[in-house]
Chains A and B, each alone.
Chain A
Amino acid sequence: MTTRNALELKGVKKNFGRAEIIRGLNLEVHEHERHVIIGPNGAGKSTMFNLISGRMKVSDGSIKLFGNDIHNLPAHKVNRMGLSRSFQVTNLFQNMTVMENLRCSLLWSEGHKYAFWKSVMGQQAVTDRAYELAERLNLTEQAEIPASLLTYAQQRSLEIGCTVASGAKVILLDEPTAGMSRTEANDVIQLIQRMTGENTLVVVEHDLSVVFELADRISVLVYGEIIATGTPEEIRNNAAVQEAYLGTEVH
Chain B
Amino acid sequence: MATNTAAGSTNLLKLWPWVVVPLVAIVLPFLFDSGHAINLLSHMGVAIIFALSYNMLLGNTGLLSFGHAVYYGLGAYVAMHLLRSINDAGGEGLPIELLPLVGAGAGLFFGIIFGTFSVRRAGVVFAMITLGLGALVHSSSLMFTDFFGGEAGLFGYRDEAPSLFGVDYAPSRNVYFLVVAWAMIAAILIYLLKKTPLGWMANAVRDNPERAQFVGYDPTIVRFIQFALSAMFAGLAGGLFVITDEIVNDEAVNALTSGAVLLGTYIGGIGYFIGPIVGGTLVTFLESSLSAYTEAWVLYFGLMFIAIVMFAPMGLVGIVHTQYLNWKAGGWKGNTGARLYILLTGLVGIFGLVCVIELAYHYFRSWDPSAPFALMGVTVDATNALPWLVSFGIAIIGFGLMLFHGNPMLKRKLGAKSDGGKA
Contact = CB atoms under 8 A, between A and B. Distances in A.
B211 A93 contact: yes
Nearest to B225: A114
Interface string B190-229: 0011011111110110011011111111110110010001
A119 interface: yes
Nearest to A105: B215
Contact of A121 (B2, B195, B198, B218): B195
Given A93-B211, A104-B200, A166 B216 contact: yes
A9 to B, nearest CB: 19
Contacts of A107: 197, 200-201, 215-217
A75 B221 contact: no
B213 A75 contact: yes
A103 B201 CA distance: 10
Nearest to A54: B213
B215 A116 contact: no
B215 A166 contact: yes
Contacts of B198: 114-116
Contacts of B199: 116, 120
A46 B368 CA distance: 73
B323 interface: no
B210 A116 contact: no
B196 A119 contact: yes
Contacts, number: 113
B104 to A, nearest CB: 15
A93 B225 contact: no
B interface, size bucket: 35 or more
A118 B216 contact: no
Interface stretch (B4-12, B21-29, B107-115, B304-312): B4-12
Contacts of B210: 55, 75, 91
B6 A79 contact: no
Contact of B208 (A54, A93, A100, A112): A93
A103 B229 CA distance: 23
A35 B4 CA distance: 40
A109 B217 CA distance: 10
Given A94-B207, A95-B1, A117-B196, 10 more contacts: A76-B213, A76-B214, A80-B216, A104-B215, A107-B216, A114-B225, A115-B198, A119-B196, A121-B8, A162-B211
23 contacts: A54-B213, A55-B210, A75-B214, A76-B214, A79-B215, A91-B208, A93-B208, A97-B5, A97-B7, A104-B200, A104-B212, A107-B215, A114-B222, A114-B225, A115-B198, A118-B196, A119-B192, A120-B6, A120-B199, A121-B195, A146-B2, A166-B214, A166-B215
Interface of A: 53-55, 74-76, 79-80, 84-85, 91-97, 99-100, 103-105, 107-109, 112-121, 146, 162-163, 165-166
